[in-house]
Amino acid sequence: MPSNPPLLALLLHGHLPFVRHPEHGDFLEERWLFEAITEVYVPLLQVIEGLRRDRVPHRLALSLSPTLLDMLDDPLLQRRFVRHVDLRLEFAERELTRTAGDERLRRVVELHRELFRRARDCFVDEHGSSLVPAFRRLQEAGSLELLTCGATHGFLPLLAASPGAVEAQVSVAIAEHRRFFAAAPAGFWLPECGFAPGLDEVLARHEVRWSVVESHGILDAVPAPVHGTFAPVVAPSGVAFYGRDAETSRAVWSAAEGYPGNAAYRDFHVDVGFERPSEELRTLLPPTGDRVPVGFKYLRVTGAGRTKEPYDPDLAAERVERDAADFVDGLARRIGAASALMRRPPVVLAPYDAELFGHWWFEGPAWLDRVARRIADGSPGFELGTPSDDLARNPVVQQAMPAASSWGEHGDASVWIAPGNDWIPRHLDGACERMRAVATEMRGATGLARRALAQAARELLLAQASDWPFLISRGTAANYAEARVRAHLGRFARLHDDLRRGTLDEAWLAEVERRDDVFPEIDPEVYTGGGRRPAV
């Protein structure tokens, strides 16, 4: 292979909204984190460690959002995760007894028991209940390039209307990344791939070298890109932007054409939590007794009808091998054709939500493993690398300004300002203006006042999470999402007003700090500069 070969840049975006409820012993939405640890992050670590053990060349990019990092590092959530897994291991033993007469079903139960057992062993015994240092070690070893994103995953094009809002999202995120990884990230994941001209200037002020936009963000750039999405463009601010490759996205994401919909793969939607009698599930259901997924899914996709066949691990493994080969071989043909037309080696940027691999697509981690091994063994004419690798090898980049874009439905901001959630932006704008004013007025505050300013900043950032309007627009956990926005804005308003009046209640503040304890080193004066307002 040439010394400067084409690259496949696989980028997994790891993010969850901050969900932590110490006031409850068992809170349903905390399971989002527990499921992600079990099905996504532990399997991902195992895949990468397996590649390292077998000396398979590999290098991936992984964004870890500040809220996800804070939750992974939280002792309360760590203890609750272990309890979550232990309850499922107990249930698996009961299920093995129940399915003793059905060899096919019993085999699938054993598969799930092993999934939870591996997750517990990896989390507790191998990593001391904290996965963050493991990711840091893999970056230091060269397996991963870690990047950050907005502090709470705020949709930056809409936040840009309020001076200081984007600056706070970026500044706090980079500070958190430094706290966990002792280094600043070269890359910055724009939440929801949301971009508008001017946002690049904020990234540039924080010495971000590269970011990612949706395909049309590059294809509609000004001037037009010479190489389409097979090469980055660099904005006048100096930040390089890579466009999501449409073909690799369709192969994995598409409900109609993507690999996860194959009949051999495990069906995500059919969960025992909706199938078995409630009394059998009593330890796994929430205190309300509501029917929810519990993590045991015994059937495969099978087909379009309602009748489903039991999951067959061997059949799925065969399909993983075929789909990995199809992905690598198809990409080799496309890269070969592009190489003949380009003066620089092509780079294919393939970004995905990390939760696709293992959670939504159970076989996704195995597919990643087989793709990496096939690239290493098959000499397809390209290798795995990251955008930073590409920029180091190919520093001459066409200058162009990416177009406003997102990877949301319709490719714009409409998901985050739609009927049902369109009331949120104006409240966020007003709160940001008040935050900037009070932080400026009380610059240099100490003691209780500074604690209150810091908590007000936390509450505002948490209210800005793009997850809440997204969930409302999709009708998924919409009541919880709306309640979270209103709760954070309400707490912010009280903190702001008490600061103005000098009537701070230390006991109440301490309770809010205990509940929303994200970003322990936040500096509220991040709002006092504001910076230039990005054009939208």
Task: Report whether 417 contacts 228 (CB < 8 A).
Answer: no
Looking at residue 534, what is its pLDDT?
Answer: 38
State the Cα–Cα distance between residues 121 and 123, nearest whole angstrom.
6
Known catalytic residue at 353: yes
Judge whether residue 89 has pLDDT over 60. Answer: yes
| pLDDT for the residue numbered 532 | 36
Question: Are the C-beta atoms of 262 and 251 separated by less than 8 Å?
Answer: no
* Rounded Cα distance, 203 and 353, in Å: 22
Short-list 253, 190, 208, 251, CA closest to 405 = 190
User: Any long-range contacts for 367-371 (C-beta under 8 Å, 24+ apart)?
Assistant: 367/259, 367/320, 367/323, 367/324, 367/327, 368/10, 368/44, 368/47, 369/47, 369/50, 369/51, 370/320, 370/321, 370/324, 371/10, 371/324, 371/327, 371/328
Q: Rounded to an integer, what distance in angstroms lies between the CA atom of residue 250 and that of residue 415?
A: 20
State yes or no: is 513 an active-site residue: no
Q: What is the pLDDT of residues 226-253, one digit of tens each?
A: 999 999 999 999 999 999 999 999 999 8
**pLDDT tens digits, 182-202:** 999 999 999 999 999 999 999
> Which residues neighbour 25 within 8 Å (Cβ) at sequence distance 6 or greater?
287
Question: Can you give the CATH number for the domain in which 442 is found?
Answer: 1.20.1430.10
Structure tokens of 388? 């930073």
Percent of the chain with pLDDT over 90: 94
In which domain, by residue range, is 513 found? 426-529
Evaluate whether residue 105 is within a structural domain. no
Q: Given 110, 353, 412, 517, which residue is catalytic?
A: 353
Structural domain contains residue 140? no
Q: Is the pLDDT of residue 281 over 60?
A: yes
Using alpha carbons, select from 153, 168, 154 the residue that is nearest to residue 433. Answer: 168
Helix pair angle (313-339, 364-378), 10° resolution: 50
Which residue type is seen at 511? E
Domain membership flag for residue 470? yes
Cα separation, 39 vs 32, whole angstroms: 11
Domain count, the chain: 1
Whether 73 is in a domain gets the answer no
Q: So what's the pLDDT on residue 253? A: 86
Looking at residue 1, its pLDDT comes to: 61
Q: Is 436 among the domain residues?
A: yes
pLDDT at residue 114 above 90? yes
pLDDT, mean of residues 316-320: 98
The 3-state DSSP class for residue 148 equals strand
Categorize the per-residue pLDDT at 531 as very low, low, confident or very high, splitting at 50, 70 and 90.
very low
Identify the CA nearest to 228 among candidates 242, 249, 240, 211.
Answer: 242
pLDDT band for position 530 (cuts 50, 70, 90): very low
Tokens representing residue 99 in the block: 């399915």
**pTM exceeds cut of 0.85:** yes
Query: In what helix (H) or strand (E) does residue 353 lie, and over which residues does it extend?
Result: strand 347-353
211 within domain boundaries:
no
Does 420 reside within a domain?
Answer: no
User: Does position 224 have pLDDT exceeding 80, yes or no?
Assistant: yes
187: which strand partners? 210
Residue 508 lies in a domain: yes
pLDDT at 340 over 90: yes
Task: Express each pLDDT in 418-428 by its tens digit.
Answer: 999 999 999 99
User: Active site residue: 192, 363, 390, 498, which one?
Assistant: 192
- Residue 288 pLDDT grade (very low, low, confident, very high; cuts 50, 70, 90): confident
